[in-house]
Amino acid sequence: MENKEVNNATCYVAGKPVKGENTLEVRSPYDGRLVGAVALANAEDAKRAIDIAISDKVSLSKYERYAILDKARTLLVQRKQEFAATISNEAGLALHEALYETGRAHDVLFFAAMECLKDDGQIFSCDISPQGKARKIFTHRESLNLAVCITPFNHPLNQVLHKIAPAIAAGTPVILKPSEKTPLTAIKIVEVLYEAGLPHSMLSVLLGPTNEIAEPLIKDDRVDIVSFTGSVAVGKKIAATAGYKKVILELGGNDPIIIMEDADLDLAAYLAAEGSFRNSGQRCTAVKRILVHEQVKEHFLEKFLEVAKKYKAGDPLAADTKVGTVIDEASAIYLETVVKKAVAQGAKVLLGGKRTGALLEPTIIDEVPRDADMVVHESFGPLAPILTFKDIDDAIALSNSTAYGLSSGVVTNNMQYIMRFVKELKVGTVNVNEVPGYRIESSPFGGIKDSGLGIKEGVIEAIKCFTFVKTFSLPW
């Protein structure tokens, strides 16, 4: 399938198109062609979006929220090819990855809609202690005044919906600030939500200069919550400047897959390839470090090389491409540089490594030193660095040695090993015989250390974040 139309789009303030003088051009990372243009917003638009969200706040019933999200889900399914083409065009991701992302986005809308029909209210009897009374205390959730959601480029549809769908389910208005690198998909899903019946005052989407859009939105006292996914540096700056409000931060990862001496090596090779190369390696939960027990390293390498050769890099819109580009040429050059640095320290490139513009072949690097840049810091691309360890103590220490703590995968059938990894790995998720990133869209997700503040996302937890709990009591 090929779709090479130019997509002209605009920001929206409460459903009304922005008529800005400045325009953002969006170009394909693969061939540089113009794929779209966006009319940008300014500081006045940001102020107007906040004013309208606060002054025109609507109260939707749980069923009305459900109906809107479910209608949006239906529209997304009907237009999945169109969305997938937009994702591939602006992000450079392989078309099959873009289609997979539309499937995940469907699940976000599906689960968020279902949660609208549930109630997690609690009842506490007050006569259960000598100091108690014949009363009951009840809890229920109320929406926040306004949320600001800031999303990255690597999942231009799913990351957006992971923020705004739970907010809508909670009844909280949202101002979305998507990545300037992938704005077309974000704007397209906002338009779908308007079409599905969402009151326009509940959602705005703005792009523009940081000092005119992001900073004023983050600092405004009328904003109750800022939910951000992106880099550590920007996340920590947001935390320092947001003021007295909720802050949800998901700041990436340096996730290992740990292959023990008893591992099924066919499974390990498959998981290492899927974890390292899917989505061009541009996932916070991608495999960034392959930690292999020294006893099975050579046998694992044979199998891994065989599997990895099947991950063809090329034109994102070609049906047989498994790995598209990274987000831009500068990112590919950086990845190429950290590989060269590791080689200078003694590492060996066993497969790939060739770069053409923003297209970087899936690359396997063996004998990577433990202090190499590519494993100390997050390398956001299709790199598969291999390090060895001698025993489980060494594996745990090596896994925990970076500043990040998002997810991990462990390949073993030894229950004693499994229990130690679950208890001792300093991460938010431990997946056994699976890639670090495995989850469903409703399960809790998030990390610790430089990966986040330990506050979970995922549809159910995110809805909690976009609400507050009110209690009331009655004589009983």
Reduced 3-state DSSP string for the chain: CCCCCCEEEECEECCEECCCCCEEEEECCCCCCEEEEEECCCHHHHHHHHHHHHHCCCCCCHHHHHHHHHHHHHHHHHCHHHHHHHHHHHHCCCHHHHHHHHHHHHHHHHHHHHHHCCCCCCEEECCCCCCCCCEEEEEEEEECCCEEEECCCCCCCHHHHHHHHHHHHHCCCEEEECCCCCHHHHHHHHHHHHHCCCCHHHEEECCCCCCCCHHHHHHCCCCCEEEEECCHHHHHHHHHHCCCCEEEEECCCCEEEEECCCCCHHHHHHHHHHHHHHHHHCCCCCEEEEEEECCCHHHHHHHHHHHHCCCCECCCCCCCCCECCCCCHHHHHHHHHHHHHHHHCCCEEEECCCEECCEECCEEEECCCCCCHHHHCCCCCCEEEEEEECCHHHHHHHHCCCCEECEEEEECCCHHHHHHHHHHCCCCEEEECCCCCCCCCCCCECCEECCECCCCECHHHHHHHCEEEEEEEEEC
CA neighbor of 168 nearest in space, from 12, 64, 249, 46: 64
Active-site position among 97, 101, 250, 434: 250
Active-site position among 284, 378, 434, 465: 284
The answer to whether 250 is a known catalytic residue is yes
Can you tell me the distance from the alpha carbon of 166 to that of 113, in angstroms, rounded to the nearest whole number?
9
The answer to whether 465 is a known catalytic residue is no
**Catalytic residues, which ones?**
250, 284
